[in-house]
Amino acid sequence: MPGFLFTNSGGDFMKKAIFFFDANNWYHNVKRSYNPSEIDPLKLVKFFCEVKHYELIEIRWYASVPSISDGENMYYNHMSYLESLEKKGVKVIIRKLQKFSNKEILKRKQQTINDLDLCDSCKKLVEANFLDLADIKRKEKGVDVGLAVDMIELAVIENKCEVCVLISGDADFIPALNILKSRDKEVLTAMTPKGYSKELIDKFPYFILRNETLMRFFKDYPGRQIK
């Protein structure tokens, strides 16, 4: 893919991989230790491609967008950050943050799935597995569901990769990962220790992003080989 040089130069077989960032989960967990904007997600991707011998197909960043009413500085800083990712070749998928009442949640989830314009077979898989996602009153509408659906579509329906790397510690993605596993797709998840669901760790291959590893992905960190 233009702009990405994260492939292994050796003669080993390389599995095609797509990286899926759950940006909200990433931000709230990383900020426990560091300023997330100071960490370069492309360095993290490069690390995994080198140590796992992955051929990078795409990096996808799933994020909610705040309203200007939440604060102009917050809004414009967020949009500037997303723009910087896009300039590096990252595919940014955004949704607006909305507030839900408990009575609206199930209806809105179904509408979100309908709006994704899925094929019939994929829609049935999604409806069977994602209508029971955990309810919270302030939710990135469609972000989690959209990410899960895209993993299934890109890996299973379109067969664009052998590996899905999920940068998230959220157990809500387990149904999607089960589908990938049942279709012989490799799955790897990664997140900080405190933000990692134990259930996710127990069920799938994982990589814990400890502080000493995260600091290697700082934008201004010296370009030494990551061990």
What percentage of residues in the chain have a pLDDT greater than 90?
A: 59
| 130-151 pLDDT tens trace | 655 444 334 454 688 889 999 9
Q: Could you give the CA distance from residue 199 to residue 177 in angstroms, rounded to a whole number?
A: 12
* pLDDT score of 64: 84
For 99, counting Cβ atoms within 10 Å of its Cβ (0-12 exposed, 13-18 middle, 19+ buried), the class is exposed
Stated pTM of the model: 0.77
- Torsion sign over Cα 65, 128, 119, 85: positive
Cβ neighbors of 110 (< 8 A, separation 6 or more) are 127, 131
* pLDDT score of 141: 47
Enter the DSSP assignment of 36: G
**pLDDT band for position 95 (50/70/90)?**
confident
- Helix (H) or strand (E) holding 34, with range, is none
Residue 40 CB neighbours (<10 A): 17
Question: Could you tell me which of 76, 40, 75, 47 has the C-alpha nearest to residue 61?
Answer: 40
Sheet-wide strand order for 91-99: 138-140, 91-99, 54-65, 15-22, 163-167, 186-191, 206-208
All structural domains of the chain:
15-95+160-217 (3.40.50.1010)
**pLDDT band for position 13 (50/70/90)?**
confident
* pLDDT score of 132: 53
User: Which residue intervals of 98-165 are DSSP H helices?
Assistant: 102-115, 120-130, 143-152
Q: Looking at the chain, how many residues does it have?
A: 227
Q: Could you give the CA distance from residue 158 to residue 151 in angstroms, rounded to a whole number?
A: 10
Say if residues 157 and 122 touch (Cβ distance below 8 Å).
Answer: yes
